[in-house]
Amino acid sequence: MMRSIKQQPFRAAVLVLVWGWLLFLVLAPNMLVVGASVMTRNPSTFISLPLNLEAYRQLFNPLYLDVFLHSLYMAALTTLICLLIGYPFAWALSRVEKNRQMLLIFLLIVPFWTNSLVRTYALKLILATNGLLNSALMSLGVIDEPAQLLYTEGAVIVGLVYLLLPFMILPLYSVFEDLRQDVLLASHDLGAGRLATFKNVVVPLTLPGVLAGVMLVLLPAMGLFFVPDILGGSRNLLVGNVIKNQFLDARNWPFGAAASIVLTLTMALLMFAHRLSKRRLGEEGA
Amino acid sequence: MTKTLLSLSGISKQFDGKTVLDELSLTIDDGEFITLLGPSGCGKTTLLRMMAGFEHPDEGTVTLSGVDITQTPPEHRPLNTVFQNYALFPHMSVFDNVAYGLKMEKRPKAEIAERVEEALAMVQLEDFARRKPHQLSGGQQQRVAIARAVVKRPKMLLLDEPLSALDYKLRRTMQVELKRLQRELGITFVFVTHDQEEALSMSDRIVVLKDGYIQQLGTPREVYERPANVFTARFVGQTNFFPGRVTKIEGERISVDVFGLNRELSKPSFRVAVNQSLHVLLRPEDIRVLAPDDIEGVAGKIVERNYKGSTLDSVIELEDGSHVMASEFFDEDDPTFDYSIGERVRVSWVDGWEWLLAEEGDEPLTDEEELAADDAEH
Cβ–Cβ contact B138 with A under 8 A: no
Q: Is the pLDDT of residue A284 over 50?
A: no
How do B213-218 and B240-250 pair as beta strands?
Answer: unpaired
Facing residue for A190 by CB, picked from B100, B132, B133: B100
Q: Cα distance from A217 to chain B (closest Cα, Å)?
A: 26
Facing residue for A281 by CB, picked from B73, B85, B91: B91
Q: Cα distance from A29 to chain B (closest Cα, Å)?
A: 40
Rounded CA separation A113/B168 (Å): 54
Cβ–Cβ contact B54 with A under 8 A: yes
Nearest CA in chain B to A178: B90
pLDDT at position A3, please?
Answer: 54
Q: Cα distance from A94 to chain B (closest Cα, Å)?
A: 19
Q: Which residues of B touch A276 (CB under 8 A)?
A: none
Which chain A residues touch B if contact means CB-CB below 8 Å? Answer: 180, 182-183, 185-193, 196, 200-201, 204-205, 280-282, 286
Q: Which residues of A touch B52 (CB under 8 A)?
A: 185, 189
Please give the model's pTM, rounded to 2 decimal places. Answer: 0.80
Do B104 and A280 make contact, defined as CB atoms within 8 angstroms?
no
Q: Which residues of B228-263 are buried (b: 16+ CB within 10 A; e: fewer)?
A: bbbbbbbbbbebbbbebebeeeeeeebbbbbbeeeb
Which tens digit of pLDDT belongs to each residue from A255-270? 989 989 988 888 788 7
Which helix (H) or strand (E) element contains residue A72?
A: helix A62-95
Q: Cα distance from B135 to chain A (closest Cα, Å)?
A: 6
Beta strands in chain A (DSSP E): 40-42, 46-48
Q: Is the pLDDT of residue B374 over 70?
A: no
Its ipTM equals 0.82
Range A61-285: architecture per CATH: Orthogonal Bundle (1.10)
Which tens digit of pLDDT belongs to each residue from B142-179? 999 999 999 999 999 999 998 888 888 888 888 998 99
Which tens digit of pLDDT belongs to each residue from A31-42? 999 998 888 888
Instruction: Write the CB contacts of A177 (distance below 8 Å, at least 6 apart in sequence).
Output: A94
Instruction: Write the CB contacts of B272 (distance below 8 Å, at least 6 apart in sequence).
Output: B246, B249, B254, B278
Phi first, then psi: what are they for A217, rounded to 5°?
-105, -45
Phi first, then psi: what are they for B229, rounded to 5°?
-155, 175
Rounded CA separation B135/B118 (Å): 21
Q: Which residues of B touch A285 (CB under 8 A)?
A: none
Q: Which residues pair with B264 in a beta bridge?
A: B255
pLDDT at position A7, please?
Answer: 66
Using an 8 Å Cβ cutoff, are B341 and B254 in contact?
no
Which tens digit of pLDDT belongs to each residue from A95-152? 998 889 999 999 998 988 888 889 999 998 988 888 888 888 888 888 888 888 888 8
Helices within A179-252 (DSSP H only): 181-189, 194-197, 203-223, 226-227, 239-248
Cβ–Cβ contact B10 with A under 8 A: no
Q: Taking the CA atoms of A148, A152, A157 and A162 in sequence, report the sign of the dihedral they define.
A: positive
Radius of gyration of chain B (CA): 25
Using an 8 Å Cβ cutoff, are A82 and A171 in contact?
no
Using an 8 Å Cβ cutoff, are B209 and B38 in contact?
yes
Nearest CA in chain A to B51: A189
To probe the interface with B, which of A189, A197, A280, A283 has the most B CB atoms within 10 Å? A189
Cβ–Cβ contact B16 with A under 8 A: no
In one letter, which amino acid is A164? Answer: L
Q: Sorting pLDDT into bands at 50, 70 and 90, what band is B270?
A: confident
Which tens digit of pLDDT belongs to each residue from B296-326? 888 899 998 888 888 889 999 998 888 999 9
Rounded CA separation B67/B51 (Å): 13
Rounded CA separation A98/A101 (Å): 5
Rounded CA separation A270/B294 (Å): 87
Cβ–Cβ contact B80 with A under 8 A: yes
Q: Which residues of A touch B80 (CB under 8 A)?
A: 189-190
User: How many CB pairs lie under 8 A apart between chains A and B?
Assistant: 74
Do B75 and A192 make contact, defined as CB atoms within 8 angstroms?
yes
Facing residue for B135 by CB, picked from A205, A280, A286: A286
Q: Cα distance from A192 to chain B (closest Cα, Å)?
A: 6
Q: Which of B185, B161, B186, B187 is nearest to B174 (CA)?
A: B161
Q: Which residues of A touch B152 (CB under 8 A)?
A: 190-191
Q: Which of A27-36, A74-83, B197-206, B254-263 has the lowest mean pLDDT?
A: B254-263
Which tens digit of pLDDT belongs to each residue from B9-64? 999 999 988 889 989 999 999 999 999 999 988 889 999 999 999 999 999 999 99
Using an 8 Å Cβ cutoff, are B40 and B194 in contact?
yes
Do B134 and A286 make contact, defined as CB atoms within 8 angstroms?
yes
Cβ–Cβ contact B165 with A under 8 A: no
SS (H, E, C) chain B: CCCEEEEEEEEEEEECCEEEEEEEEEEEECCCEEEEECCCCCCHHHHHHHHHCCCCCCEEEEEECCEECCCCCHHHCCEEEECCCCCCCCCCCHHHHHHHHHHHCCCCHHHHHHHHHHHHHHCCCHHHCCCCHHHCCHHHHHHHHHHHHHCCCCCEEEEECCCCCCCHHHHHHHHHHHHHHHHHHCCEEEEEECCHHHHHHHCCEEEEEECCEEEEEECHHHHHHCCCCHHHHHHCCCCEEEEEEEEEEECCEEEEEECCEEEEEECCCCCCCCCCEEEEEECHHHEEEECCCCCCCEEEEEEEEEECCCEEEEEEEECCCCEEEEEEECCCCCCCCCCCCCCEEEEEECCCCCEEEECCCCCCCCHHHHHHHHHHHC
Cβ–Cβ contact B105 with A under 8 A: yes
Do A190 and B104 make contact, defined as CB atoms within 8 angstroms?
yes
pLDDT at position A281, please?
Answer: 61
